[in-house]
Amino acid sequence: MIIQPAKRTESVKEYYFSIKNREMARLNAERKERGEDPIINLGIGSPDGTPPRAALEAVASNAVKDGVHGYQSYTGIPELRQAFADWYARYYGVTLDPACEIQPLTGSKEGILLTSLTFLNRGDKVLVPDPGYPTYTSASQMAEAEIIKYDLVAEKGWVPDFDALEAMDLTGVKMMWTNYPGMPTGAKATRELYEKIVDFGRRHKILIINDNPYSFIRNDEPLSILAVPGAKECCLEMNSLSKAHNMAGWRIGMVAGEADYIREILKVKSQMDSGIFRPLQLAAVEALKQGPEWFRTLNEEYRRRAVVAGKIMEAIGAEYDPDSAGLFVFGRVSPSLATATQTPGEVLSDRFLYGAGVFITPGFIFGRNGVNYVRISLCAPVPVLEKALQKVKALIESGK
């Protein structure tokens, strides 16, 4: 390069799964030459199911119409904002004004960076869960903020230790990220937990951003932090159709909250894109109309998958919570597996990737509190998970 990258990029690395997917593509090419099966990827949480039929029909029928291929409104079409509002009222018991309290996004991952760029100045502090989604950290770093990790541990149910938070020096803390059901932990939210988080945010004047894409997955009682009285004063909530509607590649998400917050986010977003393809928005409207039977069917499948994922955890000697929610199973492995260069999770991940052709995610990528863990995605059918189980067992029995 004839110039140097911006200094803000020095604090971030290429996304772990971007690197790992490239490695697995290379390994799969080698395996093909040897006549071996491709790697079974139980890493990233990309749902493999089909979106609602009505959504598929809507995108197909609208994509062939004239007048739908131009730039779209930065705020999304009114029908989509209304559909999000109806969805929140129906399932979360939350009233949102579709005119000013909802901003559609090209996936909630975009929203993580947008809110960071909107509200953080250089040197502002951000509370980030450990373990937690790595993008909370990287987006904050790209906004040149200072990361303050707060611990989540199994012994406390993977929820914040509020006594520890209150004992911290919170000077300069401007934002806090929360995520339930937790990724990667699968810990569920409760009304009491959300009440404590809202109280903490209001008293310390910290903007809470609750990332809520897993609330329907293996969870019969979806909750929103915005249902807590006074939450809109200090909270924003991200959500999306990626997990709950099998539409990860469609990139349809939203952020909801008080109108003043949404207006500020729009200022930044309107400089970054030119709206979401209209047929996708109309398809999302149909997806959001799905009734409880959609989620029952979805979760029956994920619960069957979780049983097999649990057997994989048992086979590798990992402790896990069979009552967790979300799209993953998170298991603790023996700290004694660590080497001078690898965490216990990395050791197991590499062993099964190279020895059995099965990829499971090492927990270190989610933070210091994840080093003794591995994560299995439920985004593979039961027969594929069962095949992975047999491959793992065979490697273990071989002693390799």
Separation CA 193–CA 180 (nearest Å)? 10
Position 177 scores a pLDDT of 98
Residue 100's pLDDT band (cuts 50, 70, 90):
very high
What mean pLDDT do residues 128-150 have? 96
Shared-domain flag, residues 272 and 134:
yes
Same domain, 222 and 96: yes
pLDDT of residue 116: 97
Q: Are residues 299 and 278 in the same domain?
A: no
Number of structural domains (the chain) is: 2
Q: Say which range, 7-21, 222-236, 318-332, has the weakest mean pLDDT.
A: 7-21
**81 and 112 co-located in one domain:** yes
Instruction: Return mean pLDDT, the chain.
Output: 96
Residue 187: Cβ within 10 Å count: 23
64 in any annotated domain: no
Residue 305 is part of a domain; what is its CATH number?
3.90.1150.10
Residue 1 lies in a domain: no
Q: Check residue 400 and give its pLDDT.
A: 77
Taking residues 92-119, what's their average pLDDT?
A: 96
Per residue in 207-256, pLDDT tens? 999 999 999 999 999 999 999 999 999 999 999 999 999 999 999 999 99
CB-neighbour burial class of residue 375 (10 A; exposed 0-12, middle 13-18, buried 19+): buried
Do 90 and 213 lie in one domain? The reply is yes
At 28-41, the pLDDT tens digits run 999 999 999 999 99
Kind of pairing between the strands at 358-362 and 328-332: unpaired
Domain of 102, CATH number, reads 3.40.640.10
Question: Among residues 234, 265, 290, which one ends one of the domains?
Answer: 290
Q: Where are the alpha helices (DSSP H) in the chain?
A: 16-33, 53-63, 78-91, 108-119, 134-142, 162-167, 191-204, 231-234, 259-269, 278-287, 292-315, 344-356, 382-398
Range of 261's domain? 70-290
**286 lies in the same domain as 297:** no
Q: Are residues 243 and 374 in the same domain?
A: no
Cα–Cα distance, 223 to 324 (Å, whole number)? 15
Pair (80, 124) in one structural domain = yes
3 state SS for 342-381:
CCHHHHHHHHHHHHHCEEEEEHHHHCHHHCCEEEEECCCC
Confidence of residue 351 (pLDDT cuts 50, 70, 90): very high
Instruction: Kindly tell me if the per-residue pLDDT of 185 is higher than 80.
Output: yes
Same structural domain for residues 105 and 219?
A: yes
